[in-house]
Structure 1
């Protein structure tokens, strides 16, 4: 599989608020009140790479919080949990292979990771060990491969829905906003501004396939190429096309920040502007300032704002002060508790096959929603159901894609309705 970047790539400069202290590799941590040999969770974590550091650190923080709670309550099967953290470059297949081999040498009982950009080489190395491997990969290309080779990859689980849903769900979201009367589109056109990497192209193609089945239509496609130094020509193209909704199908938070500032100075009046995932990075709000107000974004993996999610957010902010990422913090936390449930049900963390069977067959409801991976792709079902092979008709049957709007310098959930914190507000340029 060729190397691809995804929405989660970050710039070399990671804000201090998003990055915790660098850990050597491998590093075993975790104080426990339980006795006996520790149960080891291998957590490949980007520390020195140029991509993925912020999200990986969020994931490690969420894992750490869960382990501290579990150990304070007596551990698992009377044993403490400990992390084995190894450095990994998510862009490098060789680095991924080295990291997994280190975890195998450490005899970990499970592997837990945010994501990598080259999943097949990493998965292939893990296949010789078969320990449960849970990650928030968000790549349908890999889960399709998994479905074709279940004996080889049956120990690997994608703990979130795939990226195709960013395209499939966009017209559903637009219709909901229009029907609720919170958005009055200037027309039913959708303009896609797309980056050239495979991840963004997959999203764009999914949206293009979904539009003819909806009440909206494709108004235009504009190509951009990372790095985007100046958004001026793109903004002029947006105004020329004049679509009611614009999807900026990019991934770099800092470049999104530059876009919102330039768009705010010369906007397409009345347009709903959606920025794909990148605003989840803390640096988006830091760099954008007031210019971020009114823009919309979404994630297929995010911490809910229900009672369970609010409790987690409060605990996390107390343990890790600063701006909190709303995606991988909860994912690392949920995966750790998922493994705890599996180990307690099986009774022996060394029984890899039995533990994998439990994860496959037994859903888990965490702070990021309902994880159900009992399907050929072994990826989480997505809510709302958009006709994909893995869709959930009810909230507690799948993981909800969360749509946010920046309101008063904060990310607030505006869709789906069953989880929203507030309604979509009129954007400053409307």
Structure 2
């Protein structure tokens, strides 16, 4: 098989990533933990003697309507909760005054390029708005170039592979654009070894090391599917089937499931990460379930998935990078605030809250909210504790650094109460792995 130069570079990069942050720390390539700031709090950000106030507007660019609205709306709502708390405490203490924040939303609808451009122009033209936060706005993150042209601070919480592909060519061209989610490498370097470890310990019992992988054609789904295909083979598994489907478009999975049932793999993976698509996949799988471990990338974290599957997907696994560590006390507090106001939230119910706090931290450090370059530079220099772990950025890619010493790959399993729980890594686990009901004899 011929490997293109880009694929070869990806292969080398992810093999290097697999060394983990611990190895890089020992090599002196990452800052020591002593350099990390404590997680910001309402009290730490608003305690000062200033009485003069000013207003700073925060843009949220997200697909607030359309297929991913349930996911992205969590982000905007969570950011709104953080902003309301800071304002209620008198505003964020800046260099010589307090700043009250005002959120301005712009809808990227179905994430088509024209919708994203229109939404960006609206935010960029809003007086007093000099920062944009996003869960994700497009599947390609092409809007990064628009942000760079306008020197707009842009903090992204999705699409890390697309961010990397754009920024690593010329990092200095994007001084205001940063991703609070890490490299996707952990999504596929960590799952196959974890399953091997479960097999070795007897935690997981499978008839064979066989896996069937369904990937979607967007950068997120395809990168993870391709990486899993490679790593599973490297650690002794047989990939018995591969499919690629259009993102957000499949409403009937029976063609794929017919092939899967014929091959009867021990593990089934689907990286088409939309809540509706993954929920439909599970419901149709559950019509004639196989005794297979079912791994659905990201989607089970979205409450919509759990609603559509009627809490029948007990035992389904998924993983997240940059996700909140649910066993942390600050994560529990943020999640409780969100649930009290809006009901149970997904990944972005904490990520949106934290993104607003990170912007507040940069203002609190004395940066003028109207100075876009200063805020962008502050983002890039952050080294701070967050609900997702230690956040610091790789200057070559502008991605958050991944690893157990920074942001770990979190593996979840849906429990009998319908709620997800972290099962790995053990240092932050809330529950132990258990076989799904359809896997038991």
What's the TM-score bracket when you normalise by the shorter of the two chains?
Answer: 0.7 to 0.9
**SS of 1:304 mapped into structure 2:** coil
Aligned pairs for 1:330-409 within 5 A: 330-382=350-402, 392=403, 394-395=404-405, 397-409=406-418
| Aligned 1:20-419 pairs, distance under 5 A | 35-47=52-64, 49-76=65-92, 77=94, 78-106=98-126, 107-224=128-245, 227-269=249-291, 271-305=292-326, 306-320=328-342, 322-325=343-346, 327-382=347-402, 392=403, 394-395=404-405, 397-419=406-428
- Equivalent pair of 1:361/1:374 in contact (CA under 8 Å): no
Whole-Å separation in 2 of the counterparts to 1:346 and 1:168: 40
CA contact (8 A) 1:96 1:121 kept: no
Aligned to 1:14: none
Post-superposition offset of 1:103: 2.0
CA RMSD, aligned part only?
A: 2.3
SS at match of 1:401: strand
Residue number in structure 1 paired with 2:16: none
Whether the aligned pair in 2 keeps the contact of 1:97 and 1:121 (CA below 8 Å) is no
Q: 1:331 & 1:142 partners in 2: Cα distance? A: 18
Deviations 1:320-365 (A, max 9, x none): 2x2322x111111111111111112134223332332222122222
TM-fit CA distance, 1:255: 3.4
How far apart, CA to CA, are the structure 1 residues paired with 2:141 and 2:63?
Answer: 18
Q: Would you say 1:421 and 2:441 are equivalent positions? A: no
Structure 2: gaps spanning 5 or more residues = 1-49
Deviation sequence 1:264-319 (CA, Å, 0-9, x none): 332222x2111111222222111111431221122223222222211211122123
Unaligned runs of 5+ in 1: 1-32, 383-391
1:11-26 equivalences in 2 (<5 Å): none
Distance, in Å, in 2 between the alignment partners of 1:284 and 1:109 is: 35
Tell me, yes or no, if the aligned pair for 1:62 and 1:330 is still in contact at 8 Å: yes
Separation of aligned partners in 2, 1:370 and 1:255: 32
- Identify the range of structure 1 (328-337 vs 350-359) with the bigger mean alpha-carbon deviation: 350-359
Whole-Å separation in 2 of the counterparts to 1:92 and 1:173: 36
TM-score, normalised relative to structure 2:
0.80
Q: Secondary structure at the match of 2:319?
A: strand
Per-residue Cα deviation, 1:129-184 (whole angstroms, up to 9, x for no partner):
21321011223133222121223222101111244532332213312332443211
In 1, the alpha carbon distance for the partners of 2:216 and 2:137 equals 19
Instruction: Report if the CA contact (8 A) 2:186-2:409 is conserved.
Output: no
Question: Structure 2 CA distance, aligned partners of 1:366 and 1:375?
Answer: 19
Go from structure 1 to structure 2 and tell me whether the alpha carbon gap of 1:294 and 1:398 turns closer, same or farther (over 3 Å shift): closer
Summarize deviations over 1:21-76 as a string: whole Å, max 9, x none: xxxxxxxxxxxx975221221112333x4233122210111101111111222212
Contact in 2 for aligned 1:96/1:122 (Cα 8 Å): yes
Query: In structure 2, do the counterparts of structure 1 residues 260 and 34 end up closer, same or farther at CA, with 3 Å as the change threshold?
Result: farther
In structure 2, how many angstroms separate the alpha carbons of the residues matched to 1:43 and 1:197? 23
Of residues 310-319 and 259-268 in structure 1, the stretch that sits farther from structure 2 once superposed is 259-268
8 Å contact 1:178–1:185 — kept in the other structure?
yes
Label 1:75 to 1:206 Cα distance change in 2 as closer, same or farther (>3 A).
same
> 2:125 and 2:285 mapped to 1: Cα distance?
51
| Aligned length, in residue pairs | 383
Distance of aligned partners of 1:356 and 1:268 in 2 relative to their CA distance in 1, 3 Å threshold: same
Q: Is the 8 A contact 2:319 2:409 kept in 1?
A: no
Tell me how far apart the structure 1 counterparts of residues 146 and 387 of structure 2 sit (CA, whole Å).
30
Alignment partner of 1:109: what SS?
A: strand
Counterparts of 1:122 and 1:370 in 2: how far apart (Å)? 27
**With structure 1 as the length reference, what TM-score do the two structures score?**
0.82
